Amino acid sequence: MRIFAPLRHIVAIALPPRCAGCGIPVGEDHRFCALCWAGLRFLGPPWCAGCNRPFAFDRGDDARCAACLTDPPRHSGVGAAVAYGPVARDLALRLKYAGRIAFAETMARQMRRLLPADVDLLIPVPLHRWRIWTRGFNQAALIADGIATLSGIRHDCDALVRTRRTAPLRGLGGRQRTQMVAGAFAVPIPSRLQGRTVALIDDVYTSGATADACTRVMLRAGVRSVTILCWARVLSATADD
């Protein structure tokens, strides 16, 4: 390793670490410059006890948003590192569509802090095999691999599968999204999940339709609980935040 130390020094000068948001040189890999860092809204308490939707002020440990009071979620909460915004969106899109796979680790590093202590299995939201062949990778699986490396918790990319192709959900309303993904997921071997406490990994949480569909089939397979863990969460203008 000492032989290659000078070469590594030359490479570091020629190709310095760059901000994951805008690309200007920074001190270390997977870091952001001050401007992009300020453009990220990191999420945390106070938030809804049911879905982790952020509140503007502390309403108490068991306070729930209107949506959870009306229709309690099946999952055990949504841990999102940041709110969906310009910087968060650019990272997600560049990972998914531009093949910037290093951003998966950047996201994983920020998501790790929200991983519940009792989770014993990481499962990425699956893509249909045709989508993987077209894109070359599943961004959620890359993020899950990064979190697994950081946390030591095992991840399983085959425990949950997408059984049919669905049209892109972008631009659809919540009800349309729910109808689109209904019956699109399955657990091939339920015994692999029985009694497990799962974190379902994804890049962006929008309406929750995909996460709900995945959660439903995993709970039927015997999973003890499912927590959603994602990079960015879309917060609507009518949210209780």
Per-residue model confidence (pLDDT) at position 118: 95
Q: Which residues contact 217 (CB under 8 A, 6 or more apart)?
A: 160, 185, 186, 187
Examine the domain organization and report whether 226 and 140 are in the same domain.
yes
- Report the alpha-carbon distance of residue 210 to residue 216 in Å, rounded: 10
130/159 same-domain check:
yes
Tell me what pLDDT residue 8 has.
45
- For residue 31, being part of any structural domain is answered with yes
Same-domain pairing of 32 and 46: no
Same-domain pairing of 75 and 17:
no
The per-residue pLDDT for 1 is: 37
113 and 226 both lie in a single domain: yes
Residue 155 lies in a domain: yes
Bridging pattern class, strands 161-162 and 185-186: antiparallel
- Contact of 200 with 214, CB cutoff 8 Å: yes
pLDDT computed for residue 231 by the predictor: 98
- Per-residue confidence (pLDDT) for residue 236, from 0 to 100: 74
Domain that holds residue 32: 1-38
Model pLDDT, residue 200: 98
pLDDT of residue 168: 59
Same domain, 55 and 20: no
Q: Specify whether 149 is located in the same domain as 218.
A: yes
Per-10-residue mean pLDDT for the chain, 241 residues long?
44 72 92 96 94 92 92 94 96 93 96 96 92 89 97 96 72 61 85 96 92 94 97 75 45
Residues 34 and 45 placed together within one structural domain of the fold: no
**Run of H or E including 90:** helix 86-98
Count of domains for the chain: 2
Judgement on whether residues 64 and 149 belong to the same structural domain of the protein: yes
Residue 123: CB partners within 8 Å, gap ≥ 6?
Answer: 144, 155, 156, 157, 159, 160, 198, 199, 200, 201, 214, 218
Does residue 218 lie in a domain region? yes
Number of neighbouring beta carbons within 10 Å of residue 42: 12
Q: Are residues 193 and 78 in the same domain?
A: yes
